[in-house]
Structure 1
Amino acid sequence: MLIRLGYEIAIECAAATPIISLLDIHPDRHADIKRQTRVLTSPSVPTRTYHDRHGNICRRFTAPAGSFRILYDAVIEDSGETDEVNTLARETPVAELPDDVLTYLLGSRYCETDHLGSIAWQLFGQLPPGWARVQAIVDYVNSRLSFGYGYARATRTAAQAHEERVGVCRDFAHLAITLCRCMNIPARYVNGYLGDIGVPADPA
């Protein structure tokens, strides 16, 4: 199937503001791009890219004071198939984890494993390790939180989302990541395009 993707993001800056955007298509999918525009800015400013340690393309530029827009439009080919489900996926004991994933067990500013550790073990400690445990965590987060754009708050942490029972997409992700890390399951935040295929247009 062919999927059109893109964005037009408008911001207001009180002063010239250096920005790093992670909005470029991952190099793994470049062969699937059927057409695309350049990344455009208005007003036009120079941009440059670099790759982070996960292979993401990061775009650096400085937005001038005042109104600023960044635009992109593309069509990409995709199978349209859902993600693979492997209910037999096993949980790797911490002692056997590769060195480069150990950092994804640690607490952080948004993922306070120290606050949610006992709750996680009470909820999920008796479940069989592996796919079933992670699925239970995701299901719990989806039933625990209510989604709403009006709930957005840039400072909300996983523990606050758990207590307040509301949030936006990042709050769902932070809470799931934190609960996984509490259970010694490495997890990290990954963002992507939110598809609207089959979703009625929002008149707003």
Structure 2
Amino acid sequence: MNFHVTCELDYLLHGPATFLFAVKCIETGGQHIAKEALSVDPFVEIEEFTLTGGMNRFSRLKTLNPGNLKVSYQADVSNSVRIVPVDSLHVDSPGDLAPDAIPFLFPSRYCQSDRIREKAQELFGHLGSPYAIASAVSDWIHENIAYVSGSSGETSSSIDTLDQRQGVCRDFAHLAIAFCRALNVPARYATCYAYQLQPPDFHACFEVFIDGWWYIFDATRLAPLNGLVRITTGRDAADTAVCTIFGNPELTLSVVKCECLDPAFTPVTRDSLANAGEAIALL
């Protein structure tokens, strides 16, 4: 599948500031960038580096004077997915997990799995496989947590979402990750550009590690699972924030778009996977 992604972030600067942006798509085994461009107006030097095992790409820039700042990114990206029968998935015990998956069993800043273990056991402890747990977690969140724009902030965690029963995609993903980890299922956070997402914005989903692959879930069900273009992957939003700011700029405009360049695109959704008994992974 082929996608064209764009974003524009405009800021009003009141004084010196440092920005850490994570808006660039990453290269994976199945996701490749044909071309891309990141620009800043007025011109500011951009320092590029990677974190999280060299996977996530960050752009750091420093401004000195008050005024306006426009950051724009665009890319042409191709990616592919892996779709397999759920019945074919082998269940790994924690003792057999790949070492790279083990850190995603532990509590993290926004996913306090140790604090919701009892609730996770109550709701999902009867389920026998990691995929069944992740599917049930995603469905429960969709049915019991209201999607309410602006209902959470940068300090909101899985505990807050569970208590308040509302949030946005970030909060849905954090709660799902916490539930999964509480039941010994490795789970991680992914930010993406998302095709057909309404309203268009950056999007957050969660992935679980089963039988050597990371399978993707989206408890919001707001975008097709094969319409996601990966930006970052990490333990939670602390590893993957689109923008971290040191200073006091004001965001005045945010425009995010993801266009599919394949006319024959067929959406893969939670329901289509459930009807076919299949699981999907972003390669």
Count of aligned positions:
198
In 2, are the aligned partners of 1:104 and 1:186 still within 8 Å (CA)? yes
Residue 187 of structure 2 is matched in structure 1 by 187
Q: 154-163 or 67-76, which moves further after superposition? A: 67-76
Indicate how the Cα distance of structure 1 residues 98 and 159 shifts in structure 2: closer, same or farther if over 3 A, else same: same
Indicate how the Cα distance of structure 1 residues 201 and 100 shifts in structure 2: closer, same or farther if over 3 A, else same: closer
In 2, are the aligned partners of 1:10 and 1:67 still within 8 Å (CA)? yes
Which structure has the higher relative contact order (CA within 8 Å, separation 6+)?
A: 2
Indicate how the Cα distance of structure 1 residues 17 and 57 shifts in structure 2: closer, same or farther if over 3 A, else same: same
- Tell me, in whole angstroms, the C-alpha distance in 2 between the residues paired with 1:159 and 1:56: 26
Structure 2 unaligned spans of 5+: 202-254, 256-283
Matches within 5 A, 1:1-204: 2-28=2-28, 31=32, 33=34, 35-36=35-36, 38-52=37-51, 53-64=53-64, 65-77=66-78, 84-88=83-87, 89-196=89-196
Paired amino acid for 1:43: P
Deviation (angstroms), 1:157: 0.8
- Tell me, in whole angstroms, the C-alpha distance in 2 between the residues paired with 1:115 and 1:74: 40
Deviation (angstroms), 1:134: 1.2
Which one has the largest radius of gyration? 1
Structure 1 unaligned spans of 5+: none
Please list the CA deviations of residues 161-180 of structure 1 after superposition, one character each: whole Å capped at 9, or x if unmatched.
01111111110110011001
Give the CA RMSD over aligned residues.
2.6
Deviation (angstroms), 1:20: 1.9
In 1, are the aligned partners of 2:31 and 2:78 still within 8 Å (CA)? no
Please list the CA deviations of residues 134-189 of structure 1 after superposition, one character each: whole Å capped at 9, or x if unmatched.
11111111112111222131111101101111111110110011001100111111
In 2, are the aligned partners of 1:42 and 1:70 still within 8 Å (CA)? yes
Deviation (angstroms), 1:195: 1.8
Indicate how the Cα distance of structure 1 residues 90 and 138 shifts in structure 2: closer, same or farther if over 3 A, else same: farther
TM-score of the pair, normalised by structure 2: 0.62
Bigger strand fraction: 2
Indicate how the Cα distance of structure 1 residues 155 and 31 shifts in structure 2: closer, same or farther if over 3 A, else same: closer
In 2, are the aligned partners of 1:90 and 1:130 still within 8 Å (CA)? no
- Tell me, in whole angstroms, the C-alpha distance in 1 between the residues paired with 2:124 and 2:31: 39
Q: Which secondary structure does the structure 2 equivalent of 1:120 belong to?
A: helix
TM-score of the pair, normalised by structure 1: 0.84
- Tell me, in whole angstroms, the C-alpha distance in 1 between the residues paired with 2:141 and 2:184: 17
Paired amino acid for 2:49: Y
Q: 59-68 or 146-155, which moves further after superposition? A: 59-68
Q: 181-190 or 85-94, which moves further after superposition? A: 85-94
Q: Which secondary structure does the structure 2 equivalent of 1:6 belong to?
A: strand
Indicate how the Cα distance of structure 1 residues 100 and 17 shifts in structure 2: closer, same or farther if over 3 A, else same: same
- Tell me, in whole angstroms, the C-alpha distance in 1 between the residues paired with 2:177 and 2:32: 31
In 2, are the aligned partners of 1:4 and 1:74 still within 8 Å (CA)? yes
- Tell me, in whole angstroms, the C-alpha distance in 2 between the residues paired with 1:200 and 1:157: 23
